[in-house]
Amino acid sequence: MPHIIIADNQAISRFGIYQLLSKQAISYQSTECTNKEELVIALREHTQAVIILDYTLFNFLGIDDLLVLAERYPRAHWLLFSDELSPDFLQRALCSATNISVVMKDASQEELQLAIQYSIRKDRFVCNYVSNLLLSAKTIDANYAIQLTDTEKIILKEIALGYTTKEIAAKKFISFHTVNTHRKNIFRKLGINNLHEATKYAMRAGIIDMAEYCI
């Protein structure tokens, strides 16, 4: 029997979740949590639970705080159920953990039911709004990729995928100095200073996609 943790501090949202669950042809047990501390306690007791969470209303320090819990309880499944989440947050969450699904609170009843069904089966679900949002963000930022040369885009892709300057040089049969020069030019053109920013740009510009990054 699945155990469902309803992690939402709005009474109306909790009521709505129970209404959706009542439409599912399953028996389940549930726990309600209204803050992160209660959620952690519930997870310790129910390590394989399905967590329906409004991240924006909980007292997480940031996305890393959430990802630590998702990694600590890999057999649990998270359904993020919120009014609004940024493209950057969504990309990071979906790339960093395979046990996270997303649906917006204003989704259709049919889509909400599907999200719950998938989550109970421990399968990933991403609603249409989020899929389109991530695609739009990638398309918009792709317009800025034209300031990089084709070679610089290739080097940026390798950097974003985690290869070192030495590894890229060996892989592309060019000198360490050449790769390092390209790296400096890329960072200067994009106004970035570190690997995280390079990866973020490469993903949003469509130079790498989430599937490549998550491998």
Q: Say what the pLDDT of residue 160 is.
A: 87
- Comparing 57 with 201, the larger pLDDT belongs to 57
- Which tokens go with 137? 């963000």
Distance of CA 90 to the CA centre of its chain: 4
Q: Say what the pLDDT of residue 75 is.
A: 96
Q: Is the dihedral of CA 38, 40, 43, 44 positive or negative?
A: negative
Domain range list for the chain: 3-137, 148-214
CATH architecture of the region 148-214: Orthogonal Bundle (1.10)
- Which tokens go with 183? 């790296």
- Taking only the tens place, the pLDDT of each residue in 52-100 is 999 988 988 888 899 999 999 999 999 999 988 888 888 888 888 889 9
Secondary-structure class of domain 3-137 per CATH: alpha beta
